[in-house]
Amino acid sequence: MYGFIAPAYTYGQSHISPEDLYGTFFRDVQNSHIFTDSKTFADAIPLEDPVLIIERYHHEKLADDFDIEQFVRRCFRIPSHIASTFKADTSMSVSDHVRKLWPVLTRQPENQERGGSLIPLPYAYVVPGGRFREIYYWDSYFTLLGLKENGRTDLVESMINNFAYLIDSFGYIPTANRTYYLTRSQPPFFSLMVRLFSEMEGKKILKRYLPQMQKEYDYWMESGSTNEPFTAHRRLVNLPEGVQLNRYWDDKATPRPESFREDVELAAHANEKFGTSHDSLYRHIRAAAESGWDFSSRWFEDETDFATIHTTDILPVDLNCLMYHLEQTLSEAYLLAGDMTLQSVYLEKAARRRMAIQRYFWDPEKNYYMDYDFKKQNFKKAVTLAGTFPLFFKLASKSNSHYVRAYIRLNFLKSGGLLTTTVKTGQQWDAPNGWAPLQWIAYKGLRNYNFHRTANELSAEWLGLIEKEFRHSGRMLEKYNVSDTNLLAGGGEYEIQEGFGWTNGVYLRMKNKKR
């Protein structure tokens, strides 16, 4: 079905993350403030054998006149941002601009950078853009929406085959094809990608990717040695009456290589202020990164204080809706494969999860879908756009859907689209920012329940903001300020990025009035 390309570099073959490969040298570079973005060195390409670089570093650093920045720039090729040199013609339509942008964001197997942290893939793929020089898991579903609109069946298939290759190689899809992302995944959208492709090629597609969907399910549902209520193992949480739901997790409890300095500084602050152990803080940070919402007050105990992050205590409503879809899709795929036993098993799993979603995520006091803190056995306080996922997957009752629609209109809808959360904290997944994937989830969710007027308002505001920014700057951005459309989005650990895969995809799909 898909081929294999052997990595042509030393440490890529064993998939060693750069912080493990370079050790003290890596930490010294990241703490030296050579680069404003920690991801830069994590992506750098060594110009010779890393072992020789490490030996030379430990020898040369003893000299009084040693300059670590000169050493790094002599021994590594520093990667550049993507699409920053692309000249847009603002007289053309946004749709035509996006069509021209796809080749700029596409990477061919033979042109992948060897020797660094990149994990080469066997087929062509689209990267988001800017500092994001690799294929990202959940981003890609929304990118595929646009590729489908442009008739790029070839790229849709090749990207899905790359994800199938990653599942077959590692048992799951990492955040992106970098060695330093191999300890975590991202929101599990693979079954939605397969569904999207099946809309183009027929139901046989579900059967084709059944083995990979099953492997991904097994990864998220790995259980520990106990099933006692309110205990957890990796991404699986046990609840009363045999109910099992999912959380975000990471298999390491160390600073993220791509945000090393930021994590070290936050861990020191959290330890000094609250006595939080460094390992615990790093795990919560990494789990939030797996969610794709890095970062948001959604994951904080105190919405104003990043140091109170406690992601692994939280059952996220959106993740469990995605797992429901995976169970549904597995059931149908087994039916197509003629395995009636497993078809029935996964149909029952989906039905049980559907009831659990209503029980654990619908807050009858707020009348909205909320995340659940399984440690405190209570709802989280943060009202977020994640509460629209049950509408996207048609899990909400008719009465609940009306409450969600009211929340969207009263709390989230602004002059440029939908806010992500209702609080402004300086985190990029909070107000005043809006993000393309969540605009699409809410838009389609509203359509599913025939709230067409609100969906049309959302679409008009969001598309209008994108078009306004494009006419002004010629850029498609990662995120937008939806509260004040005259200002750029802000917050987070890096500057605003342009490209941009999922913005392009959602724009095309929404512009074409697709449901």
| Nearest-10 Cα torsion for 242, 245, 247, 251 | 60
The dihedral region occupied by 314, where left means phi > 0, alpha psi between -120 and 50, and beta the remainder, is: beta
| Active-site annotation holder among 19, 258, 469, 478 | 478
What are φ and ψ of residue 435, in 5° steps?
Answer: -125, 140
Per DSSP, helices labelled H in 134-177 are 137-149, 153-170
Strand locations in 185-241 (E): 232-233, 236-238
Q: Is the peptide bond before 295 cis (omega within 30 degrees of 0)?
A: yes
The token pair at 462 is: 């969001």
Question: Which residues are within 8 A (CB) of 358 and not within 5 positions of it... i.e. 6 or more apart?
Answer: 395, 397
With left for phi above 0 and alpha for psi between -120 and 50, is residue 426 left, alpha or beta? left
- Residue from 247, 509, 474, 488 nearest 360 by CA: 247
Q: How far apart are CA 19 and CA 255, in angstroms?
A: 9
478 is catalytic: yes
| Residue 157 to residue 94: CA distance in whole angstroms | 25
- Set 294, 313, 318, 371: catalytic member: 294
φ, ψ for residue 509, nearest 5 deg: -65, -45
SS3 content of the chain, % helix, strand, coil (to 5): 50, 10, 40
Q: Where are the alpha helices (DSSP H) in 241-362?
A: 260-274, 278-291, 317-336, 340-361
> Catalytic residue numbers?
294, 478
